């Protein structure tokens, strides 16, 4: 995909996406336990991108993977197998991260005579309408994934500094969580949304959580599709603007050179 020759090293891509998504899901679960845990999600994503970005692209999100494919859709045939491998790794990684979190974050402690239970993340819309929650997931996923695609593309990246690009992605994730967490819980990731709802339904022995799965899977996927197509346009328009700018600079340089030649005469 965006990593040259990645399709020739699919086992490494699978491992990178699996472990990255696993740690991201663990961070999502941990943020429901610890104060200011939301920053841990962004910093975990930042660290995972630094760690695995050069191997798989550091997507850790099936919707991001789809957006990457669609922003360069003329290579869809070449990248299809990579997308399938990455997506499978991300869903398996999210389920594994959920199980890991359940074994380490759920506990009972007695402090000051109070029995306290640490709980895992729960994704349940707080709005009156499921469509409103779906729209929030689409909108925030679109913005988050669009920023990711922007920093991945050399043509649209605001800087060549890889650390700043990774930091931009982490900060954007924190911002999007702040925007829609109070409405939807802010999955922004189909793998995380599916893993959390399936596990919560199983642990709490309730089918209520299963009926929200479509919001947290379809929402980010739709946002990823829109981001992929929009970035394709964004890249095209940027190329046009840059070409026009280069043309104008060349014309300006020609005028200056002509003036210098006239002064010499």
Q: What is the DSSP letter of 157?
A: -
Question: Does residue 215 contact residue 137 with C-beta atoms inside 8 Å?
Answer: yes
* pLDDT category of residue 57 using cuts at 50, 70 and 90: confident
Q: Enter the pTM of the model.
A: 0.83
Q: Are strands 114-117 and 108-111 parallel, antiparallel or unpaired?
A: antiparallel
Whole-number Å distance between alpha carbons of 92 and 103 = 17
Range 6-109+116-264: architecture per CATH: Up-down Bundle (1.20)
pLDDT at 163: 84
Question: Does residue 220 contact residue 190 with C-beta atoms inside 8 Å?
Answer: yes
| Chain centroid to CA 86 | 13
Is the pLDDT score of 252 beyond 70?
no
- What's the farthest any 2 CA atoms get from each other in the chain? 96
SS3 139: helix
Segment 212-227, tens digit of pLDDT: 999 999 999 999 999 9
Segment 20-41, tens digit of pLDDT: 999 999 888 877 655 566 888 8
Structure tokens at 122: 């729960």
HSE-CB at 35 with a 13 A cutoff on CA atoms is 0
The domain limits of the chain are 6-109+116-264
Whole-number Å distance between alpha carbons of 209 and 216 = 11
**What is the percentage of the chain residues whose pLDDT exceeds 70?**
80
Q: Which of 116-120, 170-174, 188-192, 203-207 is predicted least confidently? A: 116-120
Segment 193-204, tens digit of pLDDT: 999 888 878 777
Whole-number Å distance between alpha carbons of 136 and 188 = 10
Segment 86-108, tens digit of pLDDT: 999 999 999 999 888 877 765 54
Is the pLDDT score of 1 beyond 70?
no
Residue with tokens 């996406």: 17
State whether the Cα torsion 28-34-37-43 is positive or negative. negative
Of the candidates 171, 163, 173, the one whose C-alpha atom is nearest the C-alpha of residue 63 is 173
């Amino acid at each position: 995909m965006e990593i040259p020759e990645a399709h020739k090293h699919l086992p490494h891509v699978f491992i990178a996406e699996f472990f990255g998504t696993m740690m991201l899901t663990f961070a999502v679960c941990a943020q429901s336990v610890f104060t200011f845990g939301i920053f841990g999600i962004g910093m975990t994503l930042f660290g995972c991108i630094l760690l695995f970005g050069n191997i798989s692209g550091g997507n850790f999100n099936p919707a991001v993977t789809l957006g990457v494919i669609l922003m360069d859709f003329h290579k869809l045939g070449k990248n299809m197998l990579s997308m399938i491998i990455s997506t499978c790794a991300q869903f398996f990684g999210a389920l594994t991260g959920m199980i890991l979190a359940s074994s380490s974050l759920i506990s009972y402690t007695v402090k000051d005579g109070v029995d306290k239970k640490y709980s895992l993340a729960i994704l349940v819309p707080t709005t009156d309408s499921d469509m409103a929650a779906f729209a929030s997931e689409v909108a925030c996923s679109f913005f988050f994934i669009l920023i990711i695609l922007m920093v991945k593309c050399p043509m649209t990246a605001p800087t060549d500094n890889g650390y700043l690009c990774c930091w931009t992605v982490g900060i954007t994730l924190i911002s999007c969580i702040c925007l829609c967490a109070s409405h939807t819980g802010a999955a922004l990731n189909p793998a995380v949304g599916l893993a959390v709802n399936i596990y919560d339904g199983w642990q709490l022995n309730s089918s209520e959580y299963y009926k929200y799965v479509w919001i947290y899977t379809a929402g980010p996927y739709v946002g990823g599709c829109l981001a992929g197509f929009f970035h394709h346009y964004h890249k095209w328009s940027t190329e046009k603007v840059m070409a026009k700018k280069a043309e104008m600079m060349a014309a300006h340089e020609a005028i200056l050179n002509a003036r210098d030649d006239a002064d010499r005469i």
